[in-house]
Amino acid sequence: MSADYSEDIKKCVEALNKNGVILYPTDTIWGLGCDATQAKAVQRVFDLKKRAGSKTLIVLLEDINRLSYFVEKIPPVAFDLIQQVDIPLTIIYPKARNLAPHCISADNHVAIRIVRDEFCQDLIKAFGKPIVSTSANISGDPAPMIFQDINPDLIKAVDYTVEFRRNRISNMRPSTIIRLTGDFEYEIVRS
């Protein structure tokens, strides 16, 4: 673990273990995160974002080998996509399990992204559970591309805000989203 963010990881894990919400740099844009297995924590994210309860949240995992605990059956095309696509890719899987209700859609699907970003990987490994990822904004407002664009009220409302990458300007954007429609088929939801 890199020394420049080890304290951030420690404080994030402390907050996450208490059903807290963190504000952190993801592999795409700045996001709000929480324990994706705890309904109370996920509800706090919805409350902070003022987000409609009918929408679901993206879940981040650090390793493809952990997918089977949260998805009943992983179609072969998912492994190909994860290994071949070199941009952040969120895949919507059928038959979700072991996650908080607001992470699973009404038709039992879940959106999961396997992160390659070192900070996110280290954070999820240290926490030991999947983390929610949703843009750090109030629903309806633009997604913040840099830390300085985040609503100050949102920063005050979370349990911990990561110091790492606050001053980095990058050309990151939300992930591409693909919905699996069969063992070897998919459709692009957002490119």
With 0.85 as the threshold, say if the pTM is over it.
Answer: yes
100-118 confidence digits (pLDDT tens)? 998 999 999 999 999 999 9
- DSSP helix/strand/coil, 7: helix
Q: What does the block give as tokens for 62?
A: 């650090």
- DSSP helix/strand/coil, 129: coil
- Alpha carbons 116 and 61: distance in angstroms, whole number: 9
11-27 confidence digits (pLDDT tens)? 999 999 999 999 999 98
- Alpha carbons 137 and 154: distance in angstroms, whole number: 7
pLDDT-based confidence at residue 53 (cuts at 50, 70, 90): low
Domains delineated in the chain:
6-190 (3.90.870.10)
pLDDT exceeds 70 at position 2: no
Which of the 8 DSSP states describes residue 180?
E
pLDDT exceeds 90 at position 119: yes
pLDDT exceeds 80 at position 124: yes
Q: Would you tell me the crossing angle of helices 6-17 and 118-127 to the nearest 10 degrees?
A: 40
Distance of CA 46 to the CA centre of its chain: 14
Which of the 8 DSSP states describes residue 21?
-
- Element (H or E) spanning 32, and its range? strand 30-33
pLDDT value of residue 16: 98
For the four alpha carbons of 92, 46, 138 and 161, in that order, the dihedral sign comes to: negative
Q: Quick one: which of 179, 189, 170 has its CA closest to 26? A: 170
175-184 confidence digits (pLDDT tens)? 888 898 888 8
Q: For the residues 59-63, what does the mean pLDDT come to? A: 96
Beta bridge partners of 31: 24, 135
pLDDT value of residue 52: 74
